[in-house]
Structure 1
Amino acid sequence: MKSKTFFAFIGPSVFMMFLFIALPLVSVFIQSFQITQPVMQQLEVETCTPGFITQTCVTELKTVPVIGDDGKIQTTTRWVGLQSYRNVLQMDKVWNALGSGQFREILQIDFWKALRFTLMFTLLTLPLVIGVGLLIALTVNNAAKAFRGPVIFISLLPFIITPVIGSLSIYWLFVGDGILTAMMEQWTGTNISMFAQAWTIELLMYFYRVWHVAPFAFVIFYAGLQTVNMDTLESAVIDGASRWERLRHVIIPHLMPLIVFIALIHLMDCYRVFDEIIGFRSQAHVISLQWLTVDFLTPDDAGNRAIARASASAMLTMIGIVLLLILPLRRTWRDHKGGAH
């Protein structure tokens, strides 16, 4: 392919990535080192009580924002270095907690509380998604052809449902007098509140994520199973290899590039977990890094948004994603170099 033809094909994609990914990312990076605040002024404000004869007026000195000619509040931006990152991480409280041995106090800080859940959610669901997806793929691949179509259709239903709708469906099943909660209460004879503590909420989130994403892994693995070398499998059977040995030494090595691919997608997606927090309404007990960033951007009672802290939180989230992707990317790179030789 000629160079001009090649650049004509990739040019629009590169331009759109630069416009909608690179530029916003650079903007967020710069904003994480700045603080934008409204310009304030002090004015004498007179307030009077109702009435005519007994009316009393009081003059107070109040600090109010300056309104520009365009009717908007005037703001000023200044560079503050790493101050926004310090505000998010609150390392002074972390060091005090470590020095006093009160490790639980660290998890009372919003960022570290969100980081703990985000990491556990990402790393615990990864092997479950891969394992369940592979199990479904093996089951369907070994099933009779007449049953494969309906089983594939039913297995894909959780993945078709949008994340918010899916999480709300699980929430309604367990919240209050939900169907499954009522059944468990009748079976145990005790009152059950699944959303009154953090650990039960997290268990439901883990269950929902595996239920929702495992069909994606199943489709990828099922396609990969169609390319397994049957001669190799037959040779393993003749050599007396058990089903587990065939799976371990033939099928899984063949599917390893797909396993790495699913791991990459899952790590990037799960580390940005947000829909579950909204769907399960868990903000009082469980929060994620993505939710924390959105919370910083939510206007307070005065209409102000913590853009600097939101930018710092977003950059820290991105750094976490990069760190998680290093190992699978290194393996992919080694496999690529090995294949090239």
Structure 2
Amino acid sequence: MKRKTFLAFIAPSVVMMLVFIAAPLATVFWNSFHVTQPIYDKVQVETCTPGFLKQICTTEDKLQPRIGTDGKVETQTEFVGWKSYGNVLELGRVAEAFAKRSWSDLMAIDFWKALRFTLTFTLITLPFVIGLGLAIALAVNNAAREIRGQVIFISLLPFIITPVIGALSIRWLFVGDGILTAALNHLLGHQVYMFAHGWTIEILILFFRVWHVAPFAFVVFYAGLQTVNQDTLESAVIDGASRFERLRYVVIPHLMPLIVFVALIHLMDAYRVFEEIVGFASQSHVISLQWLTYQFLEPDQSGNRSISRASASAMLTMVGIVILLIPLLRKTWRDHKGAH
């Protein structure tokens, strides 16, 4: 392929990546080290009590935002270095919590509370998504051709549903007088409150993520199973290998690049968990790093947003994703070098 033709093919993708990925990332990085605040002027405000014959007036100094010639509030930006990261991490409180050996004090800090759930959510759901997706793929691959299409359609339904809608559906089954909550109350003989405790909410969120994402892994693995060398499988059968041994020594090594691919996609997606927090309305018990970033962007009583802290939180989230991906990327690189 000629260089001009190659550049013509990749130019649109490069431009889109620069505009929608590189530029926003650079902006977030810059904002994490700078704070933009409104400029306030001190003005004297006179307040008088109502009265017909005599009024009592008092004068006090108040701060009012400065309005520019364009009718907008004037702002100023200053470099604050690592201060925003320090405000997010709250390392002073972390040191006190470690000195007291108090887990509850550590979990009272929003960032570390969100980090604990995000890591738990990501690392627990990963093996379940891969295992369940592989199990469904093997079951469908061995199913009769007459029913294979129907099984594939049913297996893909959870993945088709929008994440927020799916989370709300499961929440409605368990919250208050939901169908499953009523069934549990009847079976156990006492009231069950699934959304009164943080650990029960976490279980439901973990269950939803596995239920929702496992079909994606199933599609990838099912496609990979169609390319398994049948001669190798037949040779293994002739040599007396059991079904488990064929799975372990033939099928899984063949699917390993796809397993790594699914793991990469799941880690990047799960570490940015947000829809489940919204759908299950778990903010009072469970929050994620992505939710924390969103919370920083919520305006306060004065209408100001903590853009610098939100940017710092977003950058820390990206650092966490990179750290999680390093082992898989190293394995992919070693396999690539070995293939050449």
Answering whether residue 133 of structure 2 is matched by residue 137 of structure 1, we say: no
2:19 match: 19
Q: Once the 2 structures are TM-superposed, how far is the Cα of residue 49 of structure 1 from its aligned partner?
A: 4.1
Cross-structure match for 2:60: 60
- Structure 1 CA distance for aligned equivalents of residues 108 and 137 of structure 2: 42
The amino acid across from 1:177 in the alignment is D
**AA matched with 1:11:** A
Structure 1 residue runs without a partner (length 5+): none
Cα distance in 2, alignment partners of residues 229 and 49 from structure 1: 91
Match of 1:263 in 2: 263
The aligned counterpart of 2:128 is 128
Gaps of 5+ in 2: none
User: 2-side partners of 1:241 and 1:54: how far apart?
Assistant: 104
TM-score by structure 1 length?
0.97
Alignment of 1:169 with 2:169, yes or no, is yes
Q: Could you give the per-residue CA deviations for residues 102-150 of structure 1, whole angstroms, max 9, x where no partner exists?
A: 2321111000000000000000000000000000000011110011101
Q: In 1, Cα distance between the equivalents of 2:52 and 2:199? A: 61
What is the RMSD of the two structures over their aligned residues, measured on CA atoms? 1.1
Partner-residue secondary structure (3-state), 2:128 = helix
The residue that corresponds to 1:242 in the other structure is 242
Q: CA deviation at 1:285?
A: 0.5
| Partner in structure 1 of residue 253 of structure 2 | 253
Residues 197-250 of structure 1: per-residue CA shift (max 9 Å, x gap): 110000000000000000000000001111111111111111111111111111
SS in 2 for 1:41: strand
- How far off its partner does 1:54 sit? 6.4
Distance 1:287 1:26 in 2: 26
Q: 1:17 to 1:48 in 2, by over 3 A?
A: same
Between the aligned partners of 2:336 and 2:206, the Cα distance in structure 1 is: 33
Following superposition, the deviation at residue 58 of structure 1 comes to: 3.1
Structure 2 CA distance for partners of 1:55 and 1:181, relative to 1, 3 Å: farther
Please state whether the residue corresponding to 2:241 is helix, strand or coil.
coil
Runs of 4+ in 1 over 6 A off after TM superposition: none
Matched residue, 2:179:
179
Q: Tell me the residue number matched to 1:109.
A: 109
Question: Which residue number in structure 2 is paired with residue 328 of structure 1?
Answer: 328
1:298 and 1:6 mapped to 2: Cα distance?
44
Percent identity at matched positions?
A: 69
Instruction: State the 1:101 CA deviation.
Output: 1.6
Q: How far off its partner does 1:47 sit?
A: 2.9
TM-score normalised by L of structure 2: 0.98
Q: Which whole-Å deviations, capped at 9, do the CAs of 1:49-108 have from their partners, x for residues lacking one?
A: 455446544322211211112221111110011000000000011111112222321111
Give the distance between the partners of 1:52 and 1:70, measured in 2 at CA. 41
Q: Give the match for residue 95 of structure 1.
A: 95
Distance in 2, matches of 1:188 and 1:56, equals 69
Cα distance in 2 for residues equivalent to 1:86 and 1:123: 26
Residue equivalent to 2:157:
157
